[in-house]
Amino acid sequence: MPSTINLKRRITSIKNTSQITKAMELVSASKLKRAQDYALRSRDYYDLAYDLITRLSAIEETERQPLFEKRKVSRKLYIIITSNSGLAGAYNANVLKELTNRIFADHQKNIKNEVIVIGSKGANFVRNLKEVELVGFYPQYGDSPSTSSILPLLNTIIEKFKDKKVDQVDLIYTSFKSTISQFVSNLQLLPAIKMENNANQEVTKVSNFEPDIETVIEQIVTRLIEAEIWQAVLEALASEHAMRMLAMKNASDNAKDLIDDYTLELNTIRQASITQELAEISGGVEALKG
């Protein structure tokens, strides 16, 4: 049975840790509100961008566009979004698990893999994977990301696809649904997704392009892929803060339960000690009487 001194030390240590987790919970809650607003505000633009890219894909000229070129996949590039710090529950683990599952499936098909990582947690993990090439690492974009910060990443993946160094580009990130619900998403960026033939869906038909149809489609598709990456960054940021807030709340609640348990155990030991001392005093008094 632990001594009262050890129990007091444990209680003090847990109280100190609880103060830290409570502070981190409050910080994440304040950051979550801003990140959630960013993600929700840009969803309408993302939805319109996705709708536009599917409608553009119905134009016959897109068959000749490099960004729509669909070829046999022998080398695939994954972009994953993780965090720079931990203590966010299963935020990083879920993304990395999805990545490893897809890499395993690719290896079964003799598909080679390259990975570009956003966030140091993902980079440290990918470095230890066999037969996977880490071709790029970008630190997390912070709590106030800007669209200009993703341009180097955008240019890299478009250049690799056009040069046929990779045959497909997928983006793995955490989608934000609510404060208590987030899920890992896999989005194909390149080749640009072509719209399925649907008789009930209106097809965009444009007769004139300025300066020419190739330039217009390439510029539009580039901007729409940028919008997809940007939305994924915002969704991942909101998800990270939500999962960290919940993780810290659970840690604080567990600390409170531990403090209650150790306090009860400490009081039990104290009561047992007092009872024993009273019994010894009573025994001594009886011995003197005899």
What pLDDT is attached to residue 243? 96
What pLDDT is attached to residue 199? 43
Q: Give the closest residue to 73 by CA, choosing from 167, 170, 169, 193.
A: 167
Phi, psi for residue 132 in degrees, rounded to 5: -130, 125
Counting DSSP H helices and E strands in the chain, the numbers are 5, 5
Local confidence band at 200 (pLDDT 50, 70, 90 cut-offs): very low
What pLDDT is attached to residue 221? 84
Residue identified by tokens 């009487």 is 289
Edge to edge, what strands does the sheet with 112-118 contain? 132-138, 112-118, 75-81, 168-178, 181-190
Q: Which residue has the higher pLDDT, 133 or 270?
A: 133
What pLDDT is attached to residue 4? 85
What pLDDT is attached to residue 195? 55
- The percentage of residues in the chain with a pLDDT greater than 90, rounded to a whole number, is 56
Q: Name the least confident of 71-80, 98-107, 133-142, 192-201.
A: 192-201
What pLDDT is attached to residue 263? 93
Assess whether pLDDT exceeds 90 at residue 138. Answer: yes
Q: Provide the whole-model pTM.
A: 0.85
Phi, psi for residue 98 in degrees, rounded to 5: -60, -40
Q: Name the least confident of 125-134, 171-180, 275-284.
A: 275-284
Name beta bridge partners: 80.
117, 172
What pLDDT is attached to residue 184? 96
What average pLDDT is seen over the chain? 87
Assess whether pLDDT exceeds 80 at residue 191. Answer: yes
105-227-200 Cα angle (round to 5): 80
CA distance 287 to 203: 105
Q: Which residue has the higher pLDDT, 199 or 159?
A: 159
Q: Which amino acid is at 278?
A: L
Which two three-digit tokens encode residue 218? 């390439």
Residue range 250-277: average pLDDT? 90
Q: Name the least confident of 160-164, 200-204, 237-241, 244-248.
A: 200-204
Q: Is 140 helix (H, G, I), strand (E, B) or coil?
A: coil
* CATH class of the domain whose range is 44-246: alpha beta
Residue identified by tokens 């955008």 is 154
pLDDT digits (tens, 9 = 90+) for 214-253: 777 788 888 888 988 999 999 999 999 999 999 999 999 9
pLDDT digits (tens, 9 = 90+) for 24-80: 999 999 999 889 988 888 888 878 877 777 777 677 767 678 888 889 999 999 999
CA distance 133 to 283: 78
Which two three-digit tokens encode residue 86? 């931990």
What element of type H or E holds 1?
none
Assess whether pLDDT exceeds 60 at residue 1. Answer: no
